[in-house]
């Protein structure tokens, strides 16, 4: 196992553990609403900030092997021998890679709107918009939001990104995510996950009907890698299923877990 970092976490509820991994530019709080409802249904929800996101350490390297190793170390450090695992977007690829490396640590696997394939660039505009702002010299959050809104058309994306803006101890503001490293590692984030042997962990892929991340043409390849595979589609949802259709997503999650 390569050098790992201690991941920031938040745990709510009691019962069978389910670990939740956020996507690129995100953090654990993105899944707080779903986690609370899962906790109310009898699960111990463990939300993690992946490395270089949220309150987890900033590092010098970023790829899916490192992310999976961080997760394995977290489970070992916290005496979690087996758990359910759910990941969205980039977190979904982390979860898939983890399942390929540590199937014995998993009860069930839930992948929210992500496949295993190499994806095309879809974030360069966001990276540029974020890095073009000198947040150390702005006076308030609304100034950052105004600049972002000029460069990013979707208001929901702007609000999502603003959650990662925080006050800096040095004055001004800072991004919680390690933007320079994520940008230099972007090819690693887009790359396909290599699965050497079929995964027998019960796995549910949940996609948004309006999302292009998991296409019908991807299904055959997914089935070839996951021996215990099922696919669910949430109607009238895009990539951000947990924000757009939380109740429908929760229903599918609970049905699969039970």
Per-chain mean pLDDT for the chain: 96
Tell me what percent of the residues of the chain surpass a pLDDT of 70.
99
Q: Give me the mean pLDDT over the 194-217 stretch.
A: 96
Q: 9-118+194-257 has which CATH code?
A: 3.40.50.1820
Active-site annotation, residues: 89, 239
Structure tokens at 48: 């993690």
How does pLDDT run across 74-105, given as a tens digit for each residue?
999 999 999 999 999 999 999 999 999 999 99
**Inter-residue contact 188 to 94 (CB < 8 Å):** no
Structural domain boundaries in the chain:
9-118+194-257, 124-183
Task: List Cα–Cα distances, 47 to 34, 40, 192, 206, in angstroms.
Answer: 10, 15, 24, 19
Confidence grade of residue 1 (pLDDT, cut at 50, 70, 90): low
């Amino acid at each position: 196992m390569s050098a790992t970092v201690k991941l920031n976490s938040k745990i709510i509820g009691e019962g069978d553990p389910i670990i939740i991994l956020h996507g690129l530019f995100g953090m654990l709080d993105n899944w707080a609403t779903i986690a609370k409802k899962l906790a109310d249904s009898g699960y111990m929800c463990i939300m993690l900030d992946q490395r270089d996101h949220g309150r987890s350490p900033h590092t010098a390297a970023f790829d899916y092997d490192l992310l999976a190793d961080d997760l394995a170390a977290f489970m070992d450090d916290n005496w979690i021998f087996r758990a359910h695992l759910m990941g969205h977007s980039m977190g979904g690829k982390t979860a898939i890679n983890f399942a390929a490396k540590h199937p014995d640590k998993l009860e069930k696997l839930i992948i929210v709107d992500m496949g295993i394939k190499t994806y095309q660039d879809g974030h360069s505009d966001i990276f540029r918009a974020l890095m073009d702002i000198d947040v150390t010299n702005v006076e308030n959050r609304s100034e950052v939001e105004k600049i972002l809104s000029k460069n990013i058309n979707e208001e929901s994306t702007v609000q999502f990104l603003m959650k990662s803006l925080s006050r800096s101890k040095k004055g001004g503001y800072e991004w919680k995510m390690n933007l320079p490293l994520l940008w230099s590692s972007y090819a690693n984030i887009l790359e396909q996950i290599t699965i050497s042997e079929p995964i027998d962990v019960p796995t549910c892929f949940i996609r948004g009907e309006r999302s292009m991340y998991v296409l019908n043409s991807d299904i055959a390849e997914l089935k070839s890698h996951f021996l215990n595979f099922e696919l669910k589609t949430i109607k009238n949802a895009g990539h951000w299923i947990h924000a757009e259709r939380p109740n429908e997503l929760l229903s599918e999650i609970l049905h699969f877990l039970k």
